[in-house]
Amino acid sequence: MVRIFSFLILLTVAALGAAWVADQSGGVVLSWNGWRAETSLPVLALLVLILVVAAILVWTIVRAFWKTPARLRRYRHEKREAKVRHAITHGLIAVGTGDSSLARRHAGTAKRLAEHDPMTLLLQAQTAQLEGDRPGAQHAFHAMAERKDMRLLGLRGLFIEAQRNDDLHTAVAMAEEALKIAPGSPWASHAVLGFRCAQSDWDGALALLDSNYSAGLIENAPYRRQRGVLLTARALELEERDRDLSRKSAMEAVRFAPQLVPAAVLAAKFYSEDNQVRRAMRAIEVAWNANPHPDLADAYAHVRLGDSARERLARVELLARKMPEDRESLLAVARAAIEASEFDRARAALAPLLAAPTQRVALLMAELERAGNHDEGRAREWTARAVRAAPDPAWTADGYVSDRWRPVSPVSGRLDAFQWVTPVAALTSDHVAAAAEPLDLPETLPQPAPVAIESKAVPAEPEPVVEKTSVETAPVPVQPDNVAPPVFRARPAGEARSPAPPAIIPLVRAPDDPGVPEDDFSDDPDAAQDRQPGGWQGFVSRLGS
């Protein structure tokens, strides 16, 4: 509307001007170098207008001819850019659909037309990953790392390729370099934290965790829990070498993660050594209310050094009253009662658990029969039932069962992965039936000897990994069917690597996830032995082995 009014106003002004000029009388005389021209004012105005229009037309034609080469160059450039974008777009679509030949063709087109374009480099890397061309992928990621605008992406791609090639030093270097140029990068900080934990560099891990918290990469609750875990790990490692720093770390760990069982046990031990019995009991009670554990009960019983067995029994009963129906409370009372020779009290504590006895229940019953009734036959019967009884809770992480708490999972490399739970893979219907089935055993049945095994290295065969320290812990299979066993071993010379994993679509997860190796879907048992935990975390655990 404004434009219409403006046009009408200008048209009116032009008409008024033309009418004014037409109304003017008189003449105009031009004399120059003996040449004389005489005309009226309206005619002169018309001639001037014609000359101006002609000049504009001439200038437009000359200018068009002058800029024609530049316009042709711009047209060719725009057409080239359109071809490049078409090739990159359809190439990435081909990568996502798994069409390696089409992706390779589009990648070649994009490289020919725009070799140094960032998206061209990314398409080349993704195509190389799709085809299993690791040198080609590394070359593309190296080219990205040399560019300032793609350096972080290039370092991340080199980090993933180093994982796939089992190149530990390169992977660590790439992650740390990325952390230097981008301290707020979640993947780099997470990877470096995993590496430092795998190398037991607890001081470095704590410093990095604090940095992540300051940068806002982690919330307050997970930060406090993870800091408590790292402090506990440092305290346990320094317990024999640096008692002062170990004690300081344990006390700080309890403040950050009061429900962490190993932190409460170690802090209570240091409190007991300092004759701070009330603080030791309070630390154990807080952890017990959240997660009843036999180590807590044992630490609570021995919180005051030099107490008699009956005094320890009274203290354990006090702790058991906080959770009277929990099985750990009953087991703790039974253990303390047997040590105090209160056999009737021990039998009463174990009575609710005899309907479906677990291994620890059966072994305590064997000890009770042997110490209380001096009945070796019944003791051997309960010992034999313990072999086939259902398993008790244990420290479990990613299908790995350990006799002690660990700060990092040896399978996935996750921090604070171990939980006090019953191994799910070990629970079968045969356990309950076998535990309730009475056994008719001869009197000459040999008593099984206590077993003490410490697994410190992950086996090369894909067998479940079980650690045990006493006769109270029996071997149980712990590997679920849908989780690949931990295989962290050196690859024999000449052994072929697994087929290349699928490429990664940049808009979805580029290029952080190495993907799932193709042999994970194979039924070949030999190929299954080479399966390794997915993601960078399984690679981190390899670093610590």
| pLDDT of amino acid 538 | 52
Query: How confident is the model at residue 238, as a pLDDT?
Result: 93
Residue 14's pLDDT is 80
Residue 426 belongs to some domain of the structure:
yes
Instruction: With respect to residue 431, please indicate whether it lies within any of the assigned structural domains.
Output: yes
- Residue 389 in any domain: the answer is yes
Residue 388 lies in a domain: yes
469 in any annotated domain: yes
Give me the pLDDT at residue 463, please.
40
Is 298 part of a structural domain of the chain? Answer: no
Buried b (16+ CB within 10 A) or exposed e, 135-168: ebbbebbebbbeeeebbbbbbbbbbbbbbbeebb
Burial class (CB in 10 A: 0-12, 13-18, 19+), 520: middle
Looking at residue 132, its pLDDT comes to: 86
Q: What pLDDT, on a 0 to 100 scale, did the predictor assign at position 190? A: 84
**Dihedral sign of CA atoms 497, 502, 506, 510 in order:** negative
Predicted TM-score (pTM) of this structure? 0.63
Predicted pLDDT at 425: 53
Q: In what order do the strands lie in the sheet with 419-421?
A: 400-402, 394-397, 419-421
Number of domains in the chain: 1
**Residue-level pLDDT at 384:** 92
Q: Rounded CA gap, 101 and 90, in Å?
A: 12
For residue 395, is it within any domain? yes
Q: What is the pLDDT of residue 440?
A: 39
DSSP reduced 3-state for 64? helix
Domain housing 458 = 379-483
Euclidean distance between CA atoms 13 and 262, whole angstroms: 94
| Domain assignment present for 45 | no
pLDDT in tens for each of the 545 residues of the chain? 788 888 888 888 888 877 777 777 777 777 777 787 777 777 777 788 889 999 999 999 998 889 888 888 888 888 888 998 999 999 999 998 999 899 999 988 988 888 888 888 889 888 988 888 888 888 889 988 888 888 999 999 999 888 888 887 888 889 889 988 888 788 888 888 888 888 889 999 999 999 889 888 889 999 999 999 999 999 999 998 999 999 999 999 999 999 999 999 999 999 999 999 999 999 999 999 999 999 999 999 999 888 899 999 999 999 999 998 899 999 999 999 999 999 999 999 999 999 889 999 999 999 999 988 888 899 999 999 989 899 999 999 988 999 899 999 888 888 899 999 988 654 444 444 444 444 333 333 333 333 333 333 333 333 433 343 333 333 333 333 333 333 333 344 444 444 444 434 333 334 444 443 444 434 444 443 344 444 444 544 555 55
